[in-house]
Each structure stands twice: as structure tokens, then as C-alpha cells.
Amino acid sequence: MSRRALRRLRGEQRGQQEPGLGELGPAAGPESGQQRPEGAERGRSGVSNRFELITSEEPEDDLPSKEERAVTRLKEHNVAERNDEESVPEETEADGQRNGEEAERPDQTVTQLQPVLSSKPRKKKKKRKTKKASAGETLEDNDLEDIDSLLEKIEDANGILQETQSGVIADSRPLLYIEHRNLNPENELKRYFGARAVLGDQRPRQRQRQYVRSTWLTVPKNTWPRYSKTGIAMQLVETRRGVQYFTFEHHREYQQVQFKFLDAVESMDPNNIVLLLQMNPYHVDSLLQLSDVCRMQEDQEMARDLIERVLYSLECAFHPVFSLTSGSCRLDYRRPENRAFFLALFKHLMFLEKRGCPRTALEFCKLILSLDPENDPLCVLLMIDFLSLRAREYTFLTRMFQEWESHRNLSQLPNFAFSVPLAYFFLSQQEERSELELSQARERAARLIQLALIMFPSVLMPLLDHCSVQPDARVASHSFFGLNAQISQPPALNQLTSLYVGRTHSLWKDPAVMAWLETNVHEVLRMVDTRDPLVEESELKRKMRYQSAPRNIYRHVILSEMKEATAALPLEVTSQPVMGFDPLPPLDSIISYTRPERTNHPSNESTLSLFFRSLLPNFNLQGDVRHDGDDEAGAGQDLNQGVNRLMAAMRDMLANIQFQEPPRDDNPEGDGDWD
């Protein structure tokens, strides 16, 4: 027990004494004054604490007696833990304060003085303990607070809402701003079903997992192989006008695996890809190709799991400066190394949409568009309107149309021409908006849907057919929306309209939407009957434009797998083989490394050599081709080497042959056929 702890115990012991029981009093002052030098000498002898010299000058009235010291020693073990927590400055200050008060008021009794002196340090301790406890509780509350609420507060502080002249509230953040919390489908599912229903069974397993790297695009699973460096890296190519251009790079080891993958694809056997993945579990092209195989075999869960492994592998190779949320990072689709990231994001958002997470799928769609907004290699503009309507992000869709219409001509795409007025119609049905906003939304919806029906009349009848709605006699008999409108349109426009109708027809089945559409259809027929100049102008635009679709639209149709749009693909697209890891590569691709050519010369090989090559693909009777002119000198040596290879191949083949025993019959003497 330390001396300052004993001093503290002495003060408490003196504070517990009852008035009148102590032998000390005002009359004892002279006696104590006579004994002070002796006590001082005893205190100074053997002093180990310099602060003890201050307390040693106290009158003997303040010193405990031998009986009190004995009682104190008996109680030391009960209060040792509490006394050790007290700090040295606090005790020294308390002792000094007590000595000062005793010097100022010597006439007071000890029994009256001690409770006052002992209460002050106790109050300080209580306050400090309360502060510590409250600080600990605050930290615990902050740790247990949901991360979604924190991100919402940050986004509310950063994203300032501004009111435009039209009265519509607009967000000041960039159009393609990505929110990290919207990249996780579990956050969207928790809003629908609750956190307990979504994460109830996953929490214990996540705590047991080790060596997990935090990622935004996907969450690694316990069933995945342990991640190691795959040989993929990302490099910063250049920075222009505040935009950073990145590219993935394949190291030499990864290139060798890529060559093996191409050989496995040419073999047309998925088992070869499986064997390759066993040796290289995070080879991205193998995962993409095998995902398509699993999806064709109706194994959707495995197909989605393989795509998530691709995203995890590529995100682990990100450059430290590469940002998913800034919208200023670009990837060039012309480089084959970058295509896997585009394709994995697209296929992942398709799985998310089918899973019932349209808001998360919209965020991934914005991410793909932000990687190359000018070229849009996967043409996600053909589906971003559908995802916005599914996620009820009507303000985002209308804002995108207003900002991009001037330089991208979004109204010339059937999906934007019909989806934007539908978004305005849904905005006009929201009661929390002001009457001015509702009236403006209704007017814009009516005007834009009429322009869409005039520009693309071939959309109406297939749309009503998919919605199982029978048009009235006037619409069915009118030639403007009849069969002639579908036959006379160019093939490229037929692909766009078929894609839109097949994808978004479910959004038009609402009775209120159908009533609104019917009213505007009759208004369009009135304009057609009165020979409005806009009708003739739109017809000329349809004939001049949409002669042939660009390659990115064909790529989007192939990846979307919409039956209505796939049937309208031209012959030059359907006749060539389409690989899942690289569908319709760009014609102006930037190749960083090439696959080495095989040195096969089948014209010089004999029939026997071709036979053994069919059994053993690595067999080569001719050996390496000589490039020198000394053919006669090496003819005998080549013949000997060829014979040796042939004999080695024969021994290898015979060693691997296994004979099966014939099935035993009940009649051992009878002749049975072997299998």
C-alpha cells in the first residue's frame, strides 16, 4: 500500500469519528504544540515522498492514533482497488487544500473539519467518473449507430438542394454521383424487409471469417477461395481536364493463364474451364464464361456468385487514386483488359434487377455510364430509364433528360421518349408537392407523350398487346398506329422499339397510366387528322435516321437477352460466334499483347502422325521446324528423333489403357458379349 493511499485512508478514518469521542480538542492544542517537533523529526526520518514533508508539519491533532492505524491496516484490502485509481495530482491538491484550511481555521474541532475536507475530493471524483462514464456511453452509442444514418447525414450536408425556376427541386451534386450505400443490395433489402430478416443468419458467419478485405462492389463470402494476387494491376494512363484515365494491366503470369483459357474455350468443353479455375480461382475471363454456362443450365445462384467473384478480384486491383463515386475516372473499352470490368458490372446489375433491387441496379448502371459516358460501350442509356422508373427515381430521370438532351439527343431514343413523360406523370401524382409543381408536371407529361407517339407510332400497339389491353375501335382502325407503322420502320428502329416494349411494358399496366395514355392517343389522332406539320416532319426523320444501329447497341441487345430484340438482330451479327467474356469486340481495339501462334504444319504430317495427335494433342512427330539450309545432314537425326517420339507415345498410350473384365454370367460355359 502506498503512502498517499494511507493518507487518504487516514482522512476517511478521521471523518468517520463521532464528535465528542476523540480525545483531541481545543484544550489539547498546547500539548500538541509541544509534541510537534518530535513528530516532525519522526516524519522527516525515512521519508520517501517529498509531499510527505508538507503533511508532516500538521499538528498532532490531525495525525491518527495507534488504534486508528491498526483499524486502517485491517481495512486496506477492502479499499485498495478504489484508492489505486486516484491520481497523484488530485491527492496532492486535496492534501494541500486540507492543510490550508486547517491553518486558516485552527479553532475548529477536527470532527467538524474532516467531513468538509473529505467531501470535496469525492465530488470531484464523482464528476470525473460521470464524465468518463458518459464518454464511454457516447462511444458505444456511436459504434452501435447504423452506418446508413451517418452516410445520410453526410450526404444531406454535402448535397445541397436548389430550387430551379420551374419550381422543381434539383440536386447540386453531379448527375452521375455514386453513393456507396446504394451499391450494397442488402441496404435496399433491409428497407423492404427489415435488418433482422436480411442479416439475421449472416452475422455469426461474418464474425468468424478472417482475412476479409473491405470492398464496395460486393461482399466476399466464406465459400470463396482465399484471395491472392492474380497478376492484374491498374495503372493511371493520363489526366486531362480534371478527368483521370486508367487501365488494367495483365502481368506475364496472368498472360500465360489467359492463353490457357483461350485454348479451353476453343476446346468447347466447360470442364477445361473448371480445371483452369481450380488452379486460378480468380481468373476473371474464366469466371465470366463459366457464369454464362451456369446461367444456361438454370443455376442462377452459381452464375451470380461467379460474377461477384469477378468484381471482388478486380476491385482488389484498383489503383489507389481510382474512385467509384467521383464520376471523373475513365476506362477505355477498346482495351481488352478493361472489358471484363464493364461486363461484370452489367451482368451484376442484371442479377440485381431480377433479384428485386432496382435502386442498387440503378447505381451500378450509373457507375458503368460514368466509366465512359461519351462512347457508352454497353449502351446502358437504353436501360437507365427503366431502372429509374423501377426505383421510383423520377427526379433523376427528368434531370438527366434536361441536362443531356441538348448534346445527346435523348428524345431520339424510344425509351427516353416514352419513359420521361411517364416519369412526369408519376411526379404529378405525388400529393406532397405543391400545386404549381403538379400542374407543370402534368403539362410536360402530356406534351412529351404526344411527341413520343407522333415520332414512334409503332410502339403503341405492341405495348397494348403486352399489357393485354384491347384498343378502342378508332385507334384499332386508324392507319397511323396500324400494322403499316411497324412494317415501314427501319430495322434499327425496330430493334429499339422491341427492346423497350419487352423490358418496360409492366410499368404501363397501371389503370391510371392507361387512362392517361388513352387521352393523349386520341389527341394525337386529332393532330394526324388535321394534318399537323409535326406529323410529316417526324415521318421524314424516321426515314432518314435509324438506317443501321451502332455496334454498342448490338452488344447491349446480346447481353440483355430480350427475345423480342434478339430476333431483330441482323444476319452479320448472328452469324459470327459470340463469346460471353467478350461479345462483339470493338473493331478499333487496342491490343497490348498477342497470343503466340501455334507451329502446326498439317500438310507435312503423315496419317499416322495425325492419328497419334488425335489421341495425344501434345504429340509432334515432325519436331521443331529447321530454319537452316542443312536439310540433308539433319535428315537422319530427324528420323531418329521422330521414331523415338513415336515409341514414347506408344508406351504412354499402352500404359494408360485399362481393360475391363467381362460381365460374369450365370452360365460360365455360355458365350457372352463384352461391353
DSSP symbols for 607-631: HHHHHHHHH-TT--SS-SPP-SS-H
Polymer length of the chain: 675
CA dist list (Å): 227 to 222, 288, 304: 11, 17, 18
Q: State which amino acid sits at residue 457.
A: P
Cell numbers at 220, concatenated: 466476399
Specify the pairing of strand 243-250 against strand 329-331: parallel
Name 233's bridge partners: 249
Which tens digit of pLDDT belongs to each residue from 321-379?
A: 999 998 899 999 999 999 999 999 999 999 999 999 999 999 999 999 999 999 999 99
Q: Report the alpha-carbon distance of residue 420 to residue 385 in Å, rounded.
A: 8
Phi/psi of residue 200, each to 5°?
-60, -45
Sign of CA dihedral 149, 155, 156, 158: positive
pLDDT of residue 454: 96
pLDDT of residue 105: 45
Integer distance in angstroms from the first to the last C-alpha of the chain? Answer: 93
Is the separation of the CB atoms in 497 and 462 below 8 Å? yes
Q: Report the alpha-carbon distance of residue 582 to residue 340 in Å, rounded.
A: 8
What lies within 8 Å, CB to CB, of 258 at 6+ separation is 250, 283, 285, 595
Q: Report the alpha-carbon distance of residue 344 to residue 649 in Å, rounded.
A: 43
Cell numbers at 3, concatenated: 503512502
Q: Report the alpha-carbon distance of residue 520 to residue 481 in Å, rounded.
A: 13
Is the separation of the CB atoms in 459 and 497 below 8 Å? yes
What lies within 8 Å, CB to CB, of 450 at 6+ separation is 520, 523, 524, 527
pLDDT of residue 350: 96
The H-or-E segment that residue 191 falls in is helix 185-193
pLDDT of residue 85: 44
Q: Report the alpha-carbon distance of residue 230 to residue 254 in Å, rounded.
A: 7
What lies within 8 Å, CB to CB, of 594 at 6+ separation is none
Q: State which amino acid sits at residue 613.
A: R
CB atoms within 10 A of CB 234: 21
Mapping DSSP to helix (H, G, I), strand (E, B) and coil, where does residue 217 land?
Answer: coil
Cell numbers at 493, concatenated: 428502329
Low-confidence ranges of the chain (pLDDT < 70): 1-2, 5-6, 8-171, 200-212, 598-675
pLDDT of residue 196: 77
